[in-house]
Structure 1
C-alpha cells in the first residue's frame, strides 16, 4: 500500500487526534450562541409548543438519518412511535410497525439516557433493534456483535466489477480493542468543548466501522447522545441529520478526506460545526411555525374536526410538499373523492381552509392565515 493510500487508522498517532482550535473558534462560538438562543426561545414556549418542537426534531432526525443511507421510513409511523415513546400527544396518526418501533427506541434511548455510559452491550442492543431479522437486504449479517471474518470492510460505490473503494476499515480482529478505547474516551470527561467531542466521536466511530451494517445510523445516534450531553437535556430541538442529508454528497467527501488524512482533524471539525450551525439556524426558523401551529389548535380546541381533517391540517403546518388538492386529500386519507370534498368544504365553512388565489385547472387549498 502506497503512502497516499494509508488510512487514518494506520497512522502511527491513531487515535490521538490533533486540531487547530483557532481555525474554528468563530464557528464554535456561533454554534454555542445559537444553541443558547434556541434553548432560550423554547423555554418561553408553553408545554404544548415545546412538545411539538421535540416531536418534530426527533422524528426528522430518525427519518433523515435513515434516508442518508437510502432507507425511506414512513413519516407518520415514525411520528406516531416517537410521540408514544416520549409520552407526547399526537392524534390522527397510524400505529407504527414493529421495525419502526425498534428504530425509534434506539434514538429515544440515546437522547433520554444521555447520562448513562455508552457500552458495547448498549451498542449491541441498538444494532439488534436496527436489524431485527438478522439481515441487511438479502444478506445475513452478524447482529448485536462486532463484525467478524477475514473479508476487508470496505466503503464502495459503483456497479459490480467497477467499484470505487472510498475507504477500508480496520481488520475485524482489531475492532474489539479499538472500540474499547473509543468507549473509554467517550465516557470520560474530556478537556474540550462537548460539541467538538461530538465531532471527533463521529469521525472516530465511523472510521472503526465496527458493525457489518448500520454504522452510519449508529454513528449519528452516538452524535445525538453527545449533543444531548452538550445541551444537558433530553429535549431535542434541532436535527443534525436533516442538514447532513441536504449536503449528503459533501458529507461523504469530508469523511473520505478525513479518513485518508493524518491525525489532524481540523478540517472535519470545521465542517461539522458549520453543518451544525445551519441545523440550529433552521431550527430557529421552525420555532415560529411551531408557535403558529400550537396557537391554531388552542383556538380550535372546541371546533369539531375529524381525524382526516386533523391529519391534513397538521401536514400543512409541518411543511406540506406541493399544493393541497382534493385528489391529494383522498389519497392521503384513503377515502373517497366525495368524502374528501365534504371534508374540505367543511373546513372552508369553519374558516380554516381557503381556495388558493392562483387558481388553475385543479383547485388547491391553503390554511387561512
Structure 2
C-alpha cells in the first residue's frame, strides 16, 4: 500500500520536494540502465525535476541556465554568460581519464568525483534555483554508477542535511580560499564514513536480532505445551526492551504477554521466569530481568581489538 504524506499547508512544498527527488533518482537509475553518462543535458533535466511544481521566482526557469547574476552570502557566482560553458567543461572533466582508475580504486575515485562535482556545481551555480538539490542528485548518479549500493549513495546528501550550518560554512570557506577543495572533501568524506559506520551498526543489530530469535525458537523446538509457547513469547518480547525490567513489570512487556498472564497468578510468572533462567535465555541483574541476547556473540568469529574510532 502506498502511503500519503500529509503536511500542513505551510509545509506542503516539502512533500513535493521529496517527490521530485524520488523522481530524479528514478531517472538516474533508468539512464544508467540505458548506459547514459553524465552530461550537461542530464544535469539540466535533474534541475528541471527538482523544481517541478514548486513556487519559483518569475526569473527562474527550471532546467535552464540562469540569465542573471547570483551571489550566495559573500560568494559571487560566475557571470550568467559563462555558466553554459562551465557546466559543459565540468561534465567533460568528470567523464575524462582523470577519473578512470584501476578496478580496485573505483569506489575511492567515485567518492572523490562525487564530492568535487557537488562543490563545483555549487561554485558555478548554473541555475536560478535548486542548485544544491541538483548537486546532491549528481552525487547520487556518480556513486550509484560506480557500484555503490543505493542506501550508501544517499549518505552524503543526508550528511549535508543533518549538518546544514557546517555545510554552508564549508562551502563559504572553500570559495574564500581561492579554490582549496580539500577541507570540503574531508568534511564530506568524514560524514560519509560516519554514515557507513552507522549503517553497518544497524545491519549488525538486525542480524544479531534475527540470530537471537532463531536461537530462541530452536531452544523451544521440542517444547509444544501452552506454557512453553507463553515462555517463548515472554523472552522474545522482553528482548525488545532497552534494558532490564523489574519482575513486577514483566507481565506488561507487550500486549500479548499481558493477555497471556491476565488470568495467571504471580506464581505462574515466577515459575516461567525460573524456567527461562535455567534455559539460559533470561538473566537476573540488579536492575531486573533481561533477555540473554549476548549469548549470540559467542558464535561470532574472534576479531582484533579496535580503537575508539573503530579503525
Q: Which residue of 1 aligns with 2:37?
A: 117
CA distance in 1, matches of 2:77, 2:132: 13
What displacement does 1:250 show? 1.2
1:104 aligns with 2:43: no
Contact kept? 1:127, 1:214, Cα under 8 Å: yes
CA distance in 2, matches of 1:221, 1:110: 8
Contact kept? 2:59, 2:128, Cα under 8 Å: no
From 135, 154, 160, give the equivalent of 2:71. Answer: 154
Q: Which residue of 1 aligns with 2:60?
A: 141
Q: TM-score if structure 1 supplies the norm length? A: 0.47
Q: Which residue of 1 aligns with 2:83?
A: 175
Q: Within 5 Å, which residues of 2 pair with 1:310-329?
A: none
Q: Which residue of 2 aligns with 1:275?
A: 191
What displacement does 1:248 show? 1.7
CA distance in 1, matches of 2:260, 2:91: 56
Q: Tell which structure's C-alpha radius of gyration is larger.
A: 2
CA distance in 2, matches of 1:184, 1:133: 31
Listed as ranges, the gaps of 5+ residues in structure 2 are 6-10, 102-108, 217-239, 241-253, 262-292, 294-311
Q: Which residue of 2 aligns with 1:196?
A: 112
What displacement does 1:205 show? 0.9
Q: Which residue of 2 aligns with 1:205?
A: 121
Q: TM-score if structure 2 supplies the norm length? A: 0.55
Change (3 A) 1:263 1:244: closer
Contact kept? 1:111, 1:224, Cα under 8 Å: no
| Counterpart secondary structure, 1:225 | helix
Contact kept? 1:134, 1:142, Cα under 8 Å: no
RMSD value over aligned CA atoms?
A: 3.6
Change (3 A) 1:279 1:131: same
What displacement does 1:119 show? 2.1
Change (3 A) 1:295 1:208: farther
Per-residue deviation, residues 217-272 of structure 1 (Å, max 9, x unmatched): 11111111112233x25543462222222322111111111111124322222222
What displacement does 1:172 show? 0.8
From 123, 148, 151, give the equivalent of 1:236. Answer: 151
Which structure has the higher relative contact order (CA within 8 Å, separation 6+)? 1
| Counterpart secondary structure, 1:132 | coil
Listed as ranges, the gaps of 5+ residues in structure 1 are 1-62, 64-69, 75-97, 156-164, 300-316, 318-343, 352-368
Change (3 A) 1:347 1:222: farther
Matched residue count: 205
CA distance in 2, matches of 1:71, 1:219: 23
CA distance in 2, matches of 1:116, 1:283: 30
